[in-house]
Amino acid sequence: MTKYSKGSKAERELITYFSEKGFSVIRAAGSGVSSLSPDILIFKHGTNYAIESKAWENEYLHIQKDQFLGLKNWEDNTGINALVAWRRNREPWLFIPLSVFEENKKSFAINWEKAQMIGKKIEEI
């Protein structure tokens, strides 16, 4: 499975879940291609989130600086909270606020252990 197809499959999984929970859901055009917008937007009675989905198996999730800063800028411009949804194989989705990622030379990163402590589970969204 290519990186792109794995990512789009993960996005579709989230879209289906949130749609079934009564959210209005938008998948951004060009998702996975540019860092101009998040992958998914969800809305329900004043609960609004911009979600960047990542299906990575590694112990650390690294997001390139330009993509992360684009997501942060999008959050600042719209006032809609941005979350990174991270899932590893056979693990539940975790929804992580941008504020807990640590900046390094080339990226912003978080490890799985910290994500498990801080991140919200899908049913908490």
Q: What is the spatial distance between Cα 67 and Cα 45, in angstroms, rounded to a whole number?
A: 28
pLDDT in single tens digits along all 125 residues of the chain: 555 566 788 999 999 999 999 999 999 866 555 567 899 999 999 999 999 999 999 999 999 999 999 999 999 999 999 999 999 999 999 999 999 999 999 999 999 999 999 999 999 99
pLDDT at 6: 65
pLDDT at 8: 85
Domains defined along the chain, listed by start: 3-124 (3.40.1350.10)
**Which of 64, 71, 66, 4 lies closest to 41 in space, CA to CA?**
71
CA 75 to chain CA centroid, Å, is 12
pLDDT at 2: 56
Q: What is the spatial distance between Cα 97 and Cα 106, in angstroms, rounded to a whole number?
A: 19
pLDDT at 28: 85
Q: What is the spatial distance between Cα 48 and Cα 15, in angstroms, rounded to a whole number?
A: 14
Structure tokens at 70: 């684009």
pLDDT at 7: 74
